[in-house]
Amino acid sequence: MNGTDPDTLPEAERNRLAGARQQIDTLTKRRRINSQNFLHLKDKRIMPKHNAYAGAAFDNKPPEIQAANKRFNRYLIITSVGMILYGLMLPKGWETLFGPLAFPIAWAAQLAPATVKVTALSPIPELVKGFYGLSSWVSVFFAVLLASKDPMGARVRFAFSRPGWSFLRTFCFLYLFALPFLLVGLWVIFFLPIAIHMTGGPTWGMKLFVSMISDRLSMAFFGGVATATIGMAIFALMVFLLGPISLLMNKE
């Protein structure tokens, strides 16, 4: 139909051509909008613009931090599995069987108000005392071991140099929100200023907590995970407080 005047076509044909042109215009507009909202990366993948900064920050993580994160994950698994096995094999007469090693475990259990509280309420107080007494030592040792090998100064420098995050925004998030939240969490764990309903109460959290001090299997599994988690929180606190000092002392 090249060279044909559209006005000479039947009305039905003219309407069909007009609809086709409208669809082409709509597709062209959509393609233009999509090309503005997406970036074409080197690996030929299409990613939204708002993810570009996050992807760049992740890919540009220093090798020393990547190695430290792998070590952190390895220690986390070892700590959790070790405490789970300890909880499953802990004998009831551990204070007699452990000899001199029983003293630091019992001392740690009596030092933390939270451990004293749950031991008094637990139907298996001897096991709870032996497990969470050692858990106190392990969580601290876990954090100190990580901190001794971790590039804390590099972590702080990387946190404050992420693309898309200003210094003030990063500082407010880390030291005015995350750090106070972490301190409150550790305070609650140490003092346990909550009422414990041994029936389990209405919430799943309380039911889980009661099972951790009432049943050996739950104590071993969830307590082992909790030990590593508390150690991780203590390590994070050390990074918050010692990271800037390390950065200044080493002039990184």
Give the pLDDT confidence of 188-223 residue by residue, as tens digits: 999 999 888 888 777 888 889 999 999 999 999 999
d(CA 18, CA 12): 10
Grade residue 6 by pLDDT with cuts at 50, 70 and 90: low
Which pLDDT tens digit goes with each residue over 56-106?
A: 444 578 899 999 999 999 999 999 999 999 999 999 999 999 999 999 999
The rounded Cα 153 to chain-centroid distance in angstroms is: 20
What token pair was written down for 225?
């995970």
Position with higher pLDDT, 21 vs 9: 21
Q: Which pLDDT tens digit goes with each residue over 130-167? A: 999 999 999 999 999 999 989 998 999 898 888 888 88
Question: Looking at residue 54, what is its pLDDT?
Answer: 44
Contact by Cβ (8 Å): 197, 208: no
Give the per-residue pLDDT at 90: 96
Closest listed residue to residue 132, CA positions, set 93, 106, 100: 106
Phi-psi region of 165 (alpha: psi -120 to 50; beta: other; left: phi over 0): beta
- Those residues whose C-beta lies under 8 Å from the C-beta of residue 89, and which sit 6 or more positions away, are none
Q: How far apart are CA 114 and CA 98, in angstroms?
A: 23
